[in-house]
Structure 1
Amino acid sequence: MSLKLETIAFDADDTLWQNEQFFQLTQDRFAELLADHAERDHLDERLMAAERRNLGHYGFGIKGFMLSMIETAIEVTEQKVPASVISQIIAAGQEMLSHPIELLPDVEATITALADAHHILLITKGDLLDQERKLAQSGLGDLFNGVEIVSDKKAPIYANIFARHGVSPEAAMMVGNSLKSDVIPAIEAGGWGVHVPHALTWSFEHAEPPVDHPRFRELPSLGALPTLIESIG
């Protein structure tokens, strides 16, 4: 028999607020800047390869994305990319780093509804300064009992976070839009994983849903979460 749910943890980007849409808009702008040097599909493939290659160096987030765009621009132009293009890539990244937060539907109401009876955590990965900025601008900071900004999301990281917050994994639930980062590793750590799909999800975060696992659930929207938690107990 599973324990009563005590802790509900939330992902941030594309779970609580919009994120991926700004990456895609910037990638469109990047493609326009390099249109004379590479076809769009080829450029997208080269950029994705650079992002994957650089994750170990720069981690997740806008700064790594910006550096990967610059690296890709140098590669596809055979080191002939104009300084003006590099300057525009940097400007696009800086715009992303200052973009206002856009909360997704039902976010504040859902977290508020759960906060009285549960320990509420935010577990997000990416650049520390940018994630802190987004949380501050979101107005949600006071709703969380703890905030964890990590470099990556793996099962041992979730297990460590649950332990530090004094909760058994069976009594913890992770909610997010990424199967690869939010759902599957939380289940592997012994917790519940709830997938709330977003229309735009970075291809790196795609994975097969563990549909047969007893601690996996999928919801159409965050607003359905309180009812799900009540049904689990």
Structure 2
Amino acid sequence: MRIDILTLFPDMFSLFNESIIGRGKEKGLYSIHTTNIRDFSKDKHKKVDDYPYGGGSGLVMTVQPIRDAIREIRKVNEGAVIFLGPKGKTFNQKMAEELSKKDGLIFLCGHYEGIDERIYADIDMEVSLGDFILTGGEMAAIPIIDSILRLREGVLGTDESSVEESFSENLLEYPQYTRPEEYDNQKVPEILLSGHHENIRQWRRYMMLTTTRERRPDLYAKHVLSKDDMKILKKFSGMEEK
């Protein structure tokens, strides 16, 4: 996978050289390329913004440098151009899974009061991180790109690492424990020490279901309970009542 990022602040993306994601890059599982939009400005002062027609506060990113940058990048990357903006569809795990299957993606990071409306002719998809305001598209692009890359085969090191994670089925992940077995009078649940793999699987599934129901009822409403889910809920709910 090739990812290109059009930005005014290329250095912000150096963090993709770190940790698990960085190792995936070293293995050649994907490549990230940053392009400074300002380099394409034909203004003698390399300006990329101007005052909006009709008045109003703030500045708007101009058409010319962004359009020229996109056209140049599309010579080497035929992937969709994704703009990080407030009018886009809210990013979620399903979208991450869909985008992780692409061979190439181009991210456009906006700034100031937004972009000239004419740039939308060059954009394939607008994506929002949520209903809150950030100082720039870079802040949204970083977690979105991270969530996409970690789904690429081989990046996490195993094929199963991302299978049962939070949001994979509109469910939160089950609680995890490690050594020591007891700390500050807090003990690891006995079922996890039993060695009975099927009971452990069912308990973990029960915790995923009940934790999501309690903490994220909006997600739980989207999850379709299987026959196994209903059996597990009945089994462990009955055990708790005793």
TM-score normalised to the size of structure 2? 0.28
- Which structure has the highest helix share of the two? 1
Q: Report the structure number with the largest CA radius of gyration.
A: 2
- Which structure has the highest strand share of the two? 2
TM-score normalised to the size of structure 1? 0.29
Question: 1 or 2 for the larger relative contact order (CA 8 Å, sep ≥6)?
Answer: 1
